[in-house]
Structures are given as C-alpha cells and as structure tokens.
Amino acid sequence: MKLGLIIFLWVIHVAALIGIALGYESFFLPKSPFTMLYLLLMVVLYFPIDTGKKVALFGAFAVVGLLVEWIGVHTGALFGNYYYLENFGIKIDGIPLLIGVNWAILAFTTHVIATKLTLNIWTRILAGSSLMVIIDFFLEQICEYAGFWVFAGGAGIFNYVCWFVVAALLHWILAKSRVKGDLVISTHIYIVQLIFAATLWIIISTI
C-alpha cells in the first residue's frame, strides 16, 4: 500500500502538470485541497503519526501555522502584505484551514530529511529550515496563478526571513523532541511538491 500511495502521489502531480500545460488549469487547480488532504493521509499512515507525542506536535504545528498566517494576513507583521485566494480550500477569517496542515507536513518531512543529512542539531535545524524556505520560494512564483494567495508587489526578502525564523523554531522543537519518521515518504512528499512548483513556474512563464 505504501508503494501504491507513492506512485499515485506522482501520478496526480504529473497528470495535473500535463493538464495545466494543455489548458485545463480551471479543472486541476481547484482540486489542490484534495491533494493536500492526500498528503496528510500519507503522513498520518506512513510517516507515521502514530504516538501521542507526534499527534500533539503535528496538531500544535498546524495551529501555529494558522496563527502565523492570520497575523501575516491581518497585520502584515509577518511575511508582508498578502491575502488568500480560493484554491487552498475552506477559509476561516480569511485563512485556509489547510495552510496549517501544510506547515505541519513541511516541518515534519523536512525534519526527517535534514536528520539524515547531518547529526549536529544546529546544522539540522539550518538544513530543515532552508528546505522549507526553498519550497516557499517556488510556491511564491506560482501562488497567484494557482489561486493560492497574492502578495502586494510580490513576496520580498522579509517573507523568506520570516519563513526561515518560524521554520527554525519548529525544527528546534522537533529536534529536541527527537521525532523520527520515514525517510522515503518524507523525501517523495518534498520532492514531488518541489518539482511540481518548479515545473508549473516554467509552464506559466511560457504562456
């Protein structure tokens, strides 16, 4: 089942890219919330989120993600001036519920990848936070086209600095909590999102 979920993960992302390239973006892009829920299913089953500590941390990270995004949208004090569009799913007070899930998934998966890269806690935190910022950079290039969010004047350096700081805090907590997870699942989830965002950026740049 694990292999099947990984294969289907790639199938839905590749199919979406092909469909968007052929002009069917209005069909594929609104389905993004279902893709996020699929990622959540994979993480819960095969990361896995199978202990009280992991459940508590994952839930707390999702709440932190929602909180920092609420501060960002309603005050501009974090990330800059931006607002969410419709393709990230159901919103409460302008903030999609799934954006908190996205923060938690990214933190957990990049933590596992970073843990395999280095044993030193500080370089691990640096590596994991950097991986999250890299994903954010590519998402910022496609966010408006994909119907996710819009920055006034585009995302600036302040956005990436804030992303790194919040990510570093989450990675510090994960490192101190000694959370362990599946490297294969984490790597596929990270790479498929990175390739999707980078490829979609290329596609929309040629339209």
C-alpha dist (Å) from residue 78 to 73, 133, 141: 8, 14, 19
Q: What is the pLDDT of residues 111-126, one digit of tens each?
A: 999 999 998 999 999 9
How high is the pLDDT of residue 153?
83
How high is the pLDDT of residue 201?
98
Q: What is the pLDDT of residues 84-119, one digit of tens each?
A: 999 999 999 999 999 999 999 999 999 999 999 998
Nearest alpha-carbon partner for 31 in 45, 16, 21:
16
Domain range for 176? 2-206
The angle formed by the CA atoms of residues 141, 81 and 60, to the nearest 5 degrees, is 85
Q: What is the pLDDT of residues 149-197, one digit of tens each?
A: 999 988 999 999 999 999 999 999 999 999 999 999 999 999 999 999 9
How high is the pLDDT of residue 167?
98
Cβ atoms 39, 159 nearer than 8 A: no
- Between CA 44 and CA 101 the distance in angstroms is 11
Give the pLDDT band of residue 66 (cuts 50, 70, 90).
Answer: very high
Instruction: Give how many domains the chain has, as a whole number.
Output: 1
Mean pLDDT of the chain: 97
The full DSSP string for 80-149 is -SEEE-STT--EETTEEHHHHHHHHHHHHHHHHHHHHH-SSHHHHHHHHHHHHHHHHHHHHHHHHHHTSE
